[in-house]
Amino acid sequence: MFRAARIDPVEYAPPWGAGFDERLAALTARPRRIAYFYELPDTSTFRYRVFNMARSLAADPRCDTSASWFQLSDLDRTALFVDRADALVICRTRYTPAVARMIGRAKARGIPVLFDVDDLVFDPEYAHMVMHTLDQDTATEAALDTWFSMFSRLGTVLRMCDGAITTNQCLAHRIEAFAPHLTARIVPNFFNAAQQALSSRLYEAKRRSGFASDDRIHIGYFSGTPTHNRDFAVVAPALARVLDAEPRAILRVVGFLEPKDAMARHHARIEQFPLQDFMNLQRLTAEVEINIAPLQDNLFTNCKSELKYFEPAIVGTITVATPVYTFRNSIQDGDNGLLACSHEWETKLHSAIQLVRNRADYARMAEQCYSHVLRSYGWDGFGISIEAAIFGDADTARGVPGPPMQARDARPLALEPAGNMPGSVNDG
């Protein structure tokens, strides 16, 4: 464990408690205005795809655009925000007649309406695969109705829009296949100011200590929601063997996970913490030496974002991850993390432990991680990219580059036709 990163729990209050009038004033702060719409604020999709976007625009002096957010309870005041906006971005919102009327009002005004989505949750052809991946019950009518209804309602709103915004090229490809009349532009997930400031403070404490670790090696699994049982099963047998061989190793779990099968014999060496707010999650992540991000390798997981890499990276914790699309584009194996195919987990975990034992090697990789994610996912560097994605500003897009991250593998993912997919929410 990194003792230098140990701090008291952070006092946390959700930073999106503003009332309607304050949010409306924020919308009109600059000449060009974006109204974001989301069903109800939360710490996952809303935080990354709405709140962080508006804050990044507000912080960017190069932008002439302000943004604010609205929710289902504001729909009786649609005219007040839609009529003041120059673009409407609807984030992961299910169809209702009131939402359709909001879209109709925006289109009658001639402003662009875009759909922002961060998961493959809009095409009913993939609903069964996603349910299976997330370890949901596919045998009951109620569960099937819930999931297929959600996908259908999200897809209906998506198809009503003029364009889409998403997190990566793999998901953009699926959006355009589902709604061929749309173009999907990419704005990746990134930090917010408070998250980044706390994380950098934790990283600097570790750096100043020379990444000194105590006599235990903590492997962190930050599972979030209770839908990752099948993901953890990818690594569990190898992880159990690593714990057999490494008596100093401890597994830290934050979120929902019930250790079973091969891991059951190591129950006493598993630390479990409840779900955390996004600030205290960084605190607990900073203490561990190794973060693991195992995933099943299918179309749904290849469409997910890379936040399970960049959230640990900014606190100086290295990641071992399944090489799905976004991880293999953000992690260069052996440089700023480790990639592990299903048969490689035991070897790669031992490699990570060797890094912990050699502080110089660990420090080199941690510093690579930190500098990469600070450049690529820094909270105040996306204003111009957001403007270009929403307004399609060719001059803006050409004149000021977006974030400096360049994908290491820009080839499109080979996609299996929907009819051949096996039968096989947001925190990734």
Q: Average pLDDT by consecutive 10-residue portion of the chain (428 residues)?
A: 89 94 98 98 95 96 96 98 98 98 98 98 97 94 97 98 97 98 97 96 96 94 80 94 96 86 90 94 97 97 96 98 97 97 97 95 97 96 96 49 33 31 41
End-to-end Cα separation, the chain, in angstroms: 25
The whole-number pLDDT of residue 261 equals 83
Q: For 167-215, how does the pLDDT look when each residue is reduced to its tens digit (9 = 90+)?
A: 999 999 999 999 999 999 999 999 999 999 999 999 999 999 999 999 8
Of 274, 279, 351, the closest CA to residue 318 belongs to 351
The whole-number pLDDT of residue 312 equals 98
- Neighbouring residues of 7: CB distance < 8 A, sequence distance ≥ 6: 202, 283
Taking the C-alpha atoms of residue 416 and residue 103, their distance in angstroms, rounded to an integer, is 33
The whole-number pLDDT of residue 224 equals 65
The whole-number pLDDT of residue 215 equals 87
The whole-number pLDDT of residue 72 equals 98
Integer CA distances (angstroms), 133 to 138, 163, 355, 420, 421, in order: 11, 28, 32, 16, 12
pTM of the model: 0.89
Helices (H), 110-220: 127-133, 141-160, 169-178, 193-208
Q: For 355-411, how does the pLDDT look when each residue is reduced to its tens digit (9 = 90+)?
A: 999 999 999 999 999 999 999 999 999 999 999 999 986 433 323 333 333 333 332
Contact at 8 Å (CB) between 418 and 123? yes
